[in-house]
């Protein structure tokens, strides 16, 4: 799992944020203060399992959804303090994932389909995996939700003798085996106004022959056509993987990604 940041022309710093969690951050190419955050792969968890925070000065905040709305930071942040890189104003983004539980109040089983009622709105969704405990067989176990007839009922396949609708106790919890794992995933993102140096393909600037530091210009595939990117990669094969990574988390043009993949293999 990795946190990836794709920088536009109005941001400072390198393209990699840190290796820490299942989050992708994409900057708005016209304003380094606006960021889109999302999970780096699909999930069966419901929105209620997710909580995003964007302090300080992040709007909107917080957001309890799997993929939050674009976040605007009201002011530039502090710096990384890394002497090998240009000054990089930063802000934070934190994703907290939980396994939400609900109390069961009623159960029924008909034709190998179980229906459970919860004492409060459950918030679960079709395709989600849940763990049921504190009930009698055959209701205990891990199941995949098949339907949600109402905000307080859900169904799932369950093999067993029919059970007439009756009051019941028990607990249903979002399955901890789902992706991403429950936990807290903080990250730091560069945030700046104005135009900073381009995001280079190297994290630290090399020293020139005259002893002065040279900031690498870098190559942003999003700023070029597919043919231009192909020409660049052909002339700079050592940078093919970096270009592939930038394209995959940026414009993600299928024809270009296929070409780059063939080039790398």
Q: pLDDT tens, 28-78?
A: 655 667 788 888 788 999 999 999 999 888 899 999 999 899 888 887 776
Under the banding of pLDDT at 50, 70 and 90, the label for residue 18 is: very low
**Helices 226-235 & 240-248, crossing angle to 10 degrees?**
150
| Domain that residue 243 falls in | 220-265
Tell me the two tokens of residue 243. 């270009």
Evaluate whether residue 183 is within a structural domain. no
227 and 166 both lie in a single domain: no
Q: Among 143, 158, 174, identify where a domain stops.
A: 174
Under the banding of pLDDT at 50, 70 and 90, the label for residue 5 is: very low
Q: pLDDT tens, 229-256?
A: 898 888 888 888 888 888 887 778 888 9
170 and 106 both lie in a single domain: yes
Query: b/e for 38-56, b at 16 or more Cβ within 10 A?
Result: ebbeebbbbebbbbbebee
Evaluate whether residue 208 is within a structural domain. no
Evaluate whether residue 245 is within a structural domain. yes
What is the rounded average pLDDT of the residues 140-145? 98
Evaluate whether residue 49 is within a structural domain. no
HSE of 82 in the Cβ direction (CA atoms, 13 Å)?
A: 14
Evaluate whether residue 226 is within a structural domain. yes
The number of folded domains in the chain is 2
Specify the pLDDT at position 3: 33
Evaluate whether residue 89 is within a structural domain. no
Evaluate whether residue 108 is within a structural domain. yes
Q: CB under 8 Å to 239, separation ≥6 — which residues? A: 201, 219, 232, 233
Q: Among 145, 174, 203, identify where a domain stops.
A: 174
* 1 vs 124, higher pLDDT: 124
224 and 167 both lie in a single domain: no
* Statement: residue 17 has pLDDT above 50: no
What is the rounded average pLDDT of the residues 199-225? 47
What CATH code is carried by the domain that includes residue 110? 2.40.30.20
Q: Which residues are bridge partners to 103 per DSSP?
A: 171
Run of H or E including 226: helix 226-235
Q: Among 174, 197, 229, identify where a domain stops.
A: 174
Pick from 41, 56, 154, 69: nearest CA to 107? 154
Evaluate whether residue 265 is within a structural domain. yes
Cα-based torsion angle of the residue sequence 227, 8, 54, 51 in order, rounded to the nearest 10 degrees: 0
Question: pTM of the full predicted structure?
Answer: 0.65
* 5 vs 260, higher pLDDT: 260
> Given the structure tokens 């106004």, which residue do they identify?
193
- What is the rounded CA–CA span in Å between residue 137 and residue 47? 29
106 and 169 both lie in a single domain: yes
Tell me the two tokens of residue 79. 């710096």
Under the banding of pLDDT at 50, 70 and 90, the label for residue 206 is: very low
Under the banding of pLDDT at 50, 70 and 90, the label for residue 107 is: very high
């Amino acid at each position: 799992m990795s946190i990836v940041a794709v920088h536009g022309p109005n941001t400072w710093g390198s393209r990699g944020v840190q290796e820490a969690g299942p989050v992708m951050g994409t900057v708005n190419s016209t304003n380094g203060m606006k960021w889109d955050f999302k999970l780096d792969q699909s999930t069966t968890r419901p929105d209620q399992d997710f909580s995003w925070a964007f302090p300080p000065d992040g709007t909107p905040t917080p957001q309890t959804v799997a993929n939050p709305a674009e976040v605007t930071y009201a002011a530039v942040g502090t710096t990384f303090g890394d002497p090998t890189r240009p000054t990089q104003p930063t802000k934070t983004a934190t994703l907290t994932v939980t396994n939400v539980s609900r109390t069961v109040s009623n159960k029924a089983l008909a034709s190998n389909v179980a229906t459970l009622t919860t004492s409060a709105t459950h918030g679960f969704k079709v395709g989600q995996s849940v763990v049921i405990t504190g009930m009698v067989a055959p209701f205990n176990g891990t199941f995949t939700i098949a339907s949600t007839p109402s905000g307080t009922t859900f169904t799932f396949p369950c093999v067993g003798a029919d059970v007439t609708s009756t009051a019941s106790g028990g607990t249903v919890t979002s399955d901890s085996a789902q992706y991403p794992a429950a936990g807290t995933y903080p990250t730091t993102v560069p945030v700046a106004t104005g135009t900073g140096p381009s995001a280079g393909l190297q994290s630290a600037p090399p020293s020139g022959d005259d002893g002065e530091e040279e900031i690498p210009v870098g190559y942003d595939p999003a700023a070029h056509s597919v043919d231009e990117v192909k020409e660049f990669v052909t002339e700079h094969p050592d940078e093919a993987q970096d270009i592939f990574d930038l394209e995959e988390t940026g414009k993600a043009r299928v024809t270009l990604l296929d070409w780059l993949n063939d080039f790398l293999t």
